Amino acid sequence: MNKKNIGWTISLIVWLGTIYPSYGAKPADPKVLHVINRLSFGPRGDDVAKVQAMGVKKYIQQQLTPKSIPESPGLVKQISQWKTLQQTPAEIFRYSKLVSKNLPPEMVEARKKYIRQVKREAVAARLLRATQSNRQLQEVMVDFWYNHFNVYGNKGLTRLWVGTYEQQAIRPYVLGNFRDLLGATARHPAMLFYLDNWRNRAAKRKGRGGKVRKVLGLNENYARELMELHTLGVNGGYTQADVISLAKIFTGWGFPRRPRQAISGYSFYFNPQRHDFNDKVFLNRKILGTGIQEGEKALDMLAKNPATARHISYKLAQYFVADDPPKRLTKKLTKDFLDTNGNIRAVLKTLFNSREFWQKKYFHTKFKTPYQYVVSSIRATDTSVNNWQSISRTLRRQGMPVYGCFTPDGYKNTQEAWLNPEAINKRLSFATALAAGRFRKKIVTDNPQKPRRQPVNTIALTNTIGNRFSQNTKQAMDMAPPKLRAAIILSSQEFMYK
**pLDDT digit string (tens) for 410-450?**
999 999 999 999 999 999 999 999 999 998 776 645 666 66
Q: How many CA atoms lie within 13 A of 250 on its CB side?
A: 31
Taking the C-alpha atoms of residue 419 and residue 422, their distance in angstroms, rounded to an integer, is: 9
d(CA 320, CA 326): 11
pLDDT at 95: 77
Q: How far from the centroid of its chain's Cα atoms is residue 307's Cα?
A: 24
Q: CB-side exposure of 157: number of CA atoms within 13 Å? A: 23
Q: What is the pLDDT of residue 14?
A: 37
Nearest residue to 376 (alpha-carbon basis) of 14, 59, 43: 43
Give residue-wise pLDDT tens across range 180-225.
999 999 999 999 999 999 999 997 655 555 565 555 689 999 999 9
Q: Measure the CA angle with vertex 178, ends 175 and 181; round to 5°.
A: 85
> What pLDDT does 10 receive?
33
- Structure confidence at residue 98 (pLDDT): 54
pLDDT exceeding 90 applies to what percent of the chain? 74
Residue 7 has pLDDT above 50, yes or no: no
Identify the pLDDT of residue 2: 47
Q: What is the pLDDT of residue 257?
A: 65
Q: Give the range among 66-70, 204-208, 487-491 with minimum mean pLDDT.
A: 204-208
β-strand 442-443 against 280-282: which pairing, if any?
unpaired
Angle at alpha carbon of residue 21, lines to 15 and 27, rounded to 5°:
170
The alpha carbon dihedral of 413, 417, 421, 423 has a sign of: negative
Residues 225-255: tens digit of each pLDDT: 999 999 999 999 999 999 999 999 999 999 8
Confidence (pLDDT) at 450: 63
CB 36 within 8 A of CB 475: no
Torsional class of 466: left (φ above 0), alpha (ψ -120 to 50), beta (otherwise): left
* 5 pLDDT more than 50: no
Crossing angle for the helix pair 292-304 and 306-320, nearest 10 degrees? 60
In whole angstroms, what is the distance from residue 343 CA to residue 346 CA? 5
Residue 342: pLDDT over 70: yes
Question: Residues in the chain, how many?
Answer: 498
pTM: 0.90
Higher pLDDT, 116 or 133: 133
Per-residue model confidence (pLDDT) at position 251: 97
Q: How far apart are CA 350 and CA 354, in angstroms?
A: 6
pLDDT tens, position by position, 389-401? 999 999 999 999 9
pLDDT score recorded for residue 215: 54
Alpha-carbon separation of residue 1 from 12, 162, 280 (angstroms): 15, 58, 86
CA angle 54, 31, 147 (to 5 degrees): 95
**386 within 8 A of 295, measured Cβ to Cβ:** no
In the chain, where the domains are located: 7-64+367-498, 72-165, 195-304, 306-362
